[in-house]
Chains A and B, each alone.
Chain A
């Protein structure tokens, strides 16, 4: 099959990439655009490490053929900090100890962004549900949930 030119709007910037249509969005972000903040964990939609937003909706980028994202607005973890200043959600994760090894963190933060965009004061149960598709094996979920509460101004 032939490559084709696919137009993507990533973190507010339009990119034209020449690629195969079934290629994973995850690989295009990391390999073609150099946005390596988005991680690969399981590669089967179970762990959420590759979470990004497409048109403000949380998705696993390892399961999205790049052609299906054509013309969509894609947001990755790199869109959050600006000029060396962390986004408040990132700051909250740092302060609450919501990141240890860091592999799950970009996905956790993008899931938090999706949650807070529709629910600015989520309960603990709503946080658990919003982040249920993101697995962590070292930080521990409690500090991650506390980070989300901190980010939403519900400091405990």
Chain B
């Protein structure tokens, strides 16, 4: 059933302090940006937050900037902005690909990276690249600014290490080069489909051995998952059949996919292992 619109308040914040003031006032205000998740809940009568502050017109939250060591993406930057950003195309291609896989053009014009993070879906398209790139989430409140590694940000299903008075303001991506980067989304349809399984991975090779490797999966656990044990069993190893088989077995024990309307646990386990194999074979 549709929500009763009269029960909801929405105000536009024109700068960050105005948004933070509302988030801190104790009346359970929540930020809204593009509305591609929250308005779906609203239309379905399931939006529990009654007081919304729009942050999508705050210029500093829309900017994509860089310094020597990192690229900083404003939380209200849209997928369309991410796809169009030259620096992201050049240095963080997995994030740009994930943005192109999210929804359709209309959703990409409105949906934001900060919103995707705060929606906290374990199937979020942007989550595996953010994990592989070791993103840091910058949180602002009236008390100040703090950062938290993205791999620690989701504590359990839909739970995040942030307070109600905090706003995700920027996402920091450390700049570095990889020998190979890989990502893939497996879903029912290319556009407008939520992933059955999605993966992002990157590796640097030295003398035929994996010097550094990062692997992250979506839709295989209650949170987007950086697969640290699988990475550990690959680090320093030469590529080959045995290494790949051990990595696949480790991955199998590290993920806990469920059966739901989109897929089954068994299918996700098998596909996740196949995707890991595809990534590793591509390194040879």
A67 close to B12 (CB less than 8 A): yes
B104 close to A133 (CB less than 8 A): yes
A20 close to B106 (CB less than 8 A): no
Shortest Cβ distance from A43 into B: residue? B43
Closest chain B CB from A39 CB (angstroms): 14
Measured as residues with beta carbon below 8 angstroms from the partner, the interface class of chain A is: 20 to 34
CA distance A20 to B6 in the complex (A): 7
Closest chain A CB from B238 CB (angstroms): 39
B104 close to A59 (CB less than 8 A): no
Using Cβ atoms and an 8 Å threshold, which residues of chain A touch B107?
A: 45, 60, 133
Residue A129, interface by CB 8 Å = yes
Given A63-B36, A67-B54, A22-B106 contact (CB < 8 Å): no
What are 28 inter-chain pairs, A to B, with CB distance below 8 A? A1-B9, A20-B5, A21-B8, A21-B9, A21-B10, A24-B39, A24-B43, A44-B40, A51-B106, A58-B109, A59-B110, A62-B43, A63-B34, A63-B43, A65-B35, A65-B52, A65-B54, A67-B54, A68-B10, A68-B35, A68-B54, A70-B12, A115-B105, A129-B105, A132-B104, A132-B190, A133-B105, A133-B191
A68 close to B12 (CB less than 8 A): yes
Closest chain B CB from A104 CB (angstroms): 13
A59 close to B43 (CB less than 8 A): no
A111 close to B32 (CB less than 8 A): no
Residues of A49-74 whose CB lies within 8 A of B = 51, 57-60, 62-65, 67-68, 70
Residue in contact with A58 in the complex, picked from B9, B11, B43, B105, CB distance below 8 Å: B105
CA distance A58 to B80 in the complex (A): 11
CA distance A100 to B43 in the complex (A): 28
Shortest Cβ distance from B42 into A: residue? A22
Shortest Cβ distance from A26 into B: residue? B43
B106 close to A48 (CB less than 8 A): yes
Residue in contact with B7 in the complex, picked from A1, A59, A129, A134, CB distance below 8 Å: A1
Contact with B along A120-143 (1 / 0, CB 8 A): 000000000110111100000000
Given A63-B40, A133-B191, A22-B5 contact (CB < 8 Å): yes
Residues on B facing A (Cβ under 8 Å): 5-12, 32, 34-36, 39-40, 42-44, 52, 54, 56, 80, 103-107, 109-110, 190-192
CA distance A80 to B272 in the complex (A): 47
CA distance A68 to B55 in the complex (A): 10
Using Cβ atoms and an 8 Å threshold, which residues of chain B touch A133?
A: 103-107, 191-192
Using Cβ atoms and an 8 Å threshold, which residues of chain A touch B34?
A: 63
Using Cβ atoms and an 8 Å threshold, which residues of chain A touch B54?
A: 65, 67-68
Residue A46, interface by CB 8 Å = yes
CA distance A29 to B8 in the complex (A): 20
Contact with B along A1-19 (1 / 0, CB 8 A): 1000000000000000000
Using Cβ atoms and an 8 Å threshold, which residues of chain B touch A134?
A: 104
Shortest Cβ distance from B2 into A: residue? A43
A65 close to B32 (CB less than 8 A): yes
A65 close to B104 (CB less than 8 A): no
CA distance A44 to B44 in the complex (A): 8
